[in-house]
Structure 1
Amino acid sequence: MERLASRVILLWGFRRALLAVFAGAIGALALPPFSFVAALFISFTLLVWLMDGCASAPGTGILGRCRASFALGWLFGFGYFVAGLWWLGNALLVDGDEFAWALPLAIFGLPAFLALYYGFATMLAGLLWSEGFGRLAALAVSFTLAEWLRGILLTGFPWNAIGYGVMPIPIMMQSAHAIGVLGVTACAVFVLSTPALFGTRRGLITGVVLSLLLTCAHFGYGYYRLNQPLLNDPKASNTPFTIRIVQPSIDQARKMDSRERQAVFEEHLSLSSQSPKPGQRRPDIIVWPETSVPFLLTENRDALSRIADVLSDGQVLIAGVVRAEGGAAGQPTRYYNSIYAIDSQGQIIGAADKVHLTPFGEYLPYEALWNSVGIGNIVNMPGGFTAGSTRSPITLPDGKSLYPLICYEAIFPDEITSDIAKASFVLNLTNDAWFGDTPGPYQHFLQSRLRAVETGLPLIRAANSGISAIINPHGEILQGLDFGQKGFLDSTMSGLYVSDWNSFVRNTNFWLIFISLFMIAVISRLGYKIKLN
């Protein structure tokens, strides 16, 4: 590996840039649906060697090294995000006549912007760069900081953070419960970069030992937690109850066709009214996906009556709807992406609005500016959606409480509030039909599963086209429907779980890891400068 490392370190110009893009792109193979974790070892090993080349370039001052390392990280990020997010362009093809022109912006423009975060990461790492395993710690803290910024700036877009690439199965997911996705990212970047030490030999033994310790802790904690009993609520009834998830798998273009609205609604009702499979109980809770009702339900009393006709006594329907508010006395009507709980009398007994909207999908940042050049929302809604003010659980008549995360909200772990302690389940309604049969729905499903692990609560996930599932607090799939599969699933559960969500403990653990890696990087850098002098 020393010969290979030397060749990579000495690369320059076009070949160096091409290898940086390739290193990022191959890392995307660690993401669903491929989940080839080894690809990230290749990515970060190459990135370390390329960074070594920046640090050792002759005749460059600190500004020159910063420019070179930023460009390197940007190229790496561009490859990673194009390979991991190209499927976003599929949403523009649903209404291709209006939005096909924006395909290059979705496929290349957004990755070019997101790559700025990774450029920042490598530039910061370059300032802390040294010999030995200290440079791996520098890369780890820098990428972690970049991922944190990516999750909060400009409303945030933390999709496909590096940590997700090392959590494809439940035993590898449990670390997120203890240190969060950012903590997993910090440890993962260090471990994934370790093979680079075999090419340069500096700090090899210490780096490999530390990497093995982190890997053993990752799998060890996973094994430990998977063998711990799930926490049941002693105050809750142990009476079994059944949840039915409806997955109609309706094409997005058809959902948007006003002539198909009633037929789409009836398909949801038909699947809801099906008799349970042999040996199964009648469902107590029926769950429909995001925006499953294709009209304003409160303005269609016949629709509420149809729902009441389908539901038996005591059954409750949880449905994704569009909710309207205002419109009187000359006031503009505001629309919300919402969830309704509807009882067997056709009465709306609970509701929740989406708080974190999707930019350019559900609302336009700087709308007047974009409208002036003829650009509107992908979702055809006058003025776009309005964000809900708060996120709080929906409480059903029997006391069960559902913590709502609508679609895109499931990728923001830091936005889960303390109200999660009141909930019996995490509820994720989504409509991934926008993205077709691409990696997008599979990536979204993985990120949603991690919210169950972090909160310690089961996840009920209903997706129009899939993937729908009941997931236990360990991230294990109890039952599910594959992408594109039309039908329903019934899952019977006994008792309710108690969330062991504790943001203080998780954040404390994360900061201990982050500060430890930062101190390793700083001490290594100081030692390196003393050696140079």
Structure 2
Amino acid sequence: MQRLSQKILLLSGWKRALASISAGALTALALAPFHFFFIGFLTFPVLIWLLDGAVGRIDGGRLTRHLPAFWTGWFFGFGYFVAGLWWVANALLVEAPEFAWAIPLAVLGLPALLAVFYGIATVLARALWSSGIARIFVLAAAFGVAEWLRTFVFTGFPWNALSNTIQPSPLMMQSSAFIGADAMNVLAVICFALPAAFFVKGRQKAWALLCFLIFFGGHLGAGVWRLNFSAEPEAEGSIIRIVQPDVDQSKKLEPGDGQEVFADLLALSAEPVANASLARPRYIIWPETSVPFILTREPQAVAAIADTLKIGQSLIAGVVREEIEEESGAETRRYYNSMLLINDEGIITSAADKTHLVPFGEYLPFSEQLKQWGFKAVAAADRGYVAGAQRRSLPLSAGLTAIPLICYEVIFGGEVKRLEQTDGLMINVTNDAWYGNTPGPYQHFHQSQLRSVETGLPMVRAANNGVSGLIDAKGRVIEKLGYGQKGAVDAELPGKIATPLGKKFQQQIFWLFIVVFTTIGLVARAKD
């Protein structure tokens, strides 16, 4: 193994770039739907050895000295994000005549941009590089900072954070209940990279083995304890029905098909309960933009919903919400990607708007200029969406409120927090039909599981064509509708549970990791 590490360390030119890209691409196999997490124990040691050899020219300038480290991390990130996000381009094929030209930007351009964060991480790590085990802690801290930046820079896009790779199942998700999403990125890199030090001589090998047992053993131990010995969530009592209409995205865009889609939603909502042990559903959930027209413009559609709902039932529907303002004789229409709560009389009792819109999907940054050049948002038709002013809870009943999460809002662990002490669940409505039967919908569902573990709240997830389901507060799937299944599933809503340390301490643990591991790097660098 030492001979292999030396060969990798000495790689140069295109061979070094190819090795880094390959390591990153293989790491994506740890993501859903594959969950081959053990691949990280191979790919991160390769990254360590590549960084061992990423030495800039001594006679070069301050910038050029950092370029070998930057490109090593950038190529690793490029491989990881191309392999993990190529499916984004599928959304451009729905209206191929208009958007097919942008496929190279989605497949290569987005990964190239995201890879910059990993390039920055390896530059930071290489600045404190040493010959021993300390360099692994430095790399973990640097990647932790890079992933934290990914949550908010350029509006944020933390899809497929490295923490996801080491959490393939509920057993391996429970650590995030203790330390949170950000610190899990640090833990993942430490666990995966430590095997790089297993094959050296002397005390470094012993320290590496001990650290691996502490971190990876603690990671597994947290899962065993929390799943088998900690308090279980008690049933909340409400019966929910998740409706998955499985409508092809191209069909939703065709004029004249709206009423057929709407009729399917009503029929699935009215089906009798298949499980005799369950009462009639109290809440019925429809996916994001499930109603293929502006609901408030169609009083007969609202009346049909009222006729479908039984006494005491409520519908939570993902819709496009319209606001009309008149000023100085001019009419302005604003459109929101929203979630409406409709009671059995057809009255909209509450609404929540999406606050974190998808750039180029739901709105155009620098829209005035880009529209002049013929650009438009992919998923917003010709109208574009307006972001909601603030995220707020959705009151369902006197004792139950929900955190509404529309589409990819569920991936932002920092934003998914209790808005009020009475929040009892999260509701994620989404339309992943844009991406077809690719890894995208499965990755989205997996990240919903992680949010439940981190917050201690159950997740109700309704997706247009999958994956829909009910997830309990420990990330376990109670009921599920797979990709491409048309139907409805009923289940009793599980209750919430307290996270061991709370959200505030989770963030403090993350920064404690960064400070401690950076200090270890500084000390080791001074001794080298």
Q: Using structure 1 for the length normalisation, give the TM-score.
A: 0.95
Per-residue deviation, residues 145-168 of structure 1 (Å, max 9, x unmatched): 111111110100001011110001
SS at match of 1:220: helix
SS at match of 2:377: coil
Rounded to whole Å, the distance in 1 between the matches of 2:58 and 2:11 is 13
- The one-letter code matched in structure 2 to 1:413 is G
Compared with structure 1, are the counterparts of its residues 75 and 502 closer, same or farther at alpha carbon in structure 2 (3 Å cutoff)?
same
Q: CA deviation at 1:511?
A: 2.2
Rounded to whole Å, the distance in 2 between the matches of 1:244 and 1:180 is 30
- The one-letter code matched in structure 1 to 2:170 is P
Does 1:267 pair with 2:269?
no
Rounded to whole Å, the distance in 1 between the matches of 2:420 and 2:519 is 34
Contact 1:480 1:489 in 2 (8 A): yes
Per the alignment, residue 452 of structure 1 pairs with: 452
Q: How does 1:94-113 map to 2 (within 5 A)?
A: 94-113=94-113
Per the alignment, residue 440 of structure 1 pairs with: 440
Does 1:346 pair with 2:343?
no
Q: How does 1:246-257 map to 2 (within 5 A)?
A: 246-257=243-254
Rounded to whole Å, the distance in 2 between the matches of 1:468 and 1:402 is 17
Per-residue deviation, residues 366-391 of structure 1 (Å, max 9, x unmatched): 11121122111102444410100111
Per the alignment, residue 242 of structure 1 pairs with: 239
- The one-letter code matched in structure 1 to 2:395 is T
Per the alignment, residue 136 of structure 2 pairs with: 136
SS at match of 1:514: helix
Contact 1:3 1:199 in 2 (8 A): no
Q: How does 1:51-62 map to 2 (within 5 A)?
A: 51-55=51-55
Does 1:32 pair with 2:32?
yes
SS at match of 2:152: helix
Contact 1:286 1:318 in 2 (8 A): yes
Q: Which moved further from structure 2: 239-248 or 443-452?
A: 239-248
Does 1:467 pair with 2:464?
no
Per the alignment, residue 154 of structure 1 pairs with: 154
- How many residue pairs get matched? 522
Per the alignment, residue 531 of structure 1 pairs with: none
Q: How does 1:207-356 map to 2 (within 5 A)?
A: 207-226=208-227, 227-232=229-234, 240-279=237-276, 280-329=278-327, 330-356=330-356
Contact 2:56 2:64 in 1 (8 A): no
Q: How does 1:75-86 map to 2 (within 5 A)?
A: 75-86=75-86
Consecutive unaligned residues of structure 1, counting only runs of 5 or more, are 233-237, 529-533
CA-based RMSD: 1.7
Per the alignment, residue 168 of structure 2 pairs with: 168
Consecutive unaligned residues of structure 2, counting only runs of 5 or more, are none
- The one-letter code matched in structure 2 to 1:426 is M
Rounded to whole Å, the distance in 1 between the matches of 2:26 and 2:522 is 30
Rounded to whole Å, the distance in 2 between the matches of 1:70 and 1:366 is 30
Rounded to whole Å, the distance in 1 between the matches of 2:84 and 2:251 is 27
Compared with structure 1, are the counterparts of its residues 278 and 200 closer, same or farther at alpha carbon in structure 2 (3 Å cutoff)?
closer
Rounded to whole Å, the distance in 1 between the matches of 2:193 and 2:121 is 14
SS at match of 1:240: strand
Q: CA deviation at 1:241?
A: 2.6
Compared with structure 1, are the counterparts of its residues 351 and 487 closer, same or farther at alpha carbon in structure 2 (3 Å cutoff)?
same
Per the alignment, residue 426 of structure 1 pairs with: 426
Contact 1:340 1:348 in 2 (8 A): yes
Compared with structure 1, are the counterparts of its residues 31 and 308 closer, same or farther at alpha carbon in structure 2 (3 Å cutoff)?
same
Contact 2:78 2:111 in 1 (8 A): yes
Per the alignment, residue 235 of structure 1 pairs with: none
- The one-letter code matched in structure 1 to 2:471 is I
- The one-letter code matched in structure 1 to 2:461 is R
Q: CA deviation at 1:434?
A: 0.6
- The one-letter code matched in structure 1 to 2:186 is A
Per the alignment, residue 482 of structure 1 pairs with: 482
SS at match of 2:212: helix
Identity %: 44
Q: CA deviation at 1:398?
A: 4.7
SS at match of 1:205: helix
Q: CA deviation at 1:327?
A: 3.8
Contact 1:141 1:517 in 2 (8 A): yes
- The one-letter code matched in structure 1 to 2:232 is L
Per the alignment, residue 525 of structure 1 pairs with: 525
Contact 1:70 1:119 in 2 (8 A): yes
Q: Using structure 2 for the length normalisation, give the TM-score.
A: 0.95
Rounded to whole Å, the distance in 2 between the matches of 1:168 and 1:390 is 32
Compared with structure 1, are the counterparts of its residues 382 and 327 closer, same or farther at alpha carbon in structure 2 (3 Å cutoff)?
farther
SS at match of 1:522: helix
- The one-letter code matched in structure 2 to 1:289 is P
- The one-letter code matched in structure 2 to 1:424 is G
Rounded to whole Å, the distance in 1 between the matches of 2:27 and 2:335 is 39
Does 1:411 pair with 2:408?
no
- The one-letter code matched in structure 2 to 1:72 is T
Contact 2:417 2:455 in 1 (8 A): no
SS at match of 1:379: coil
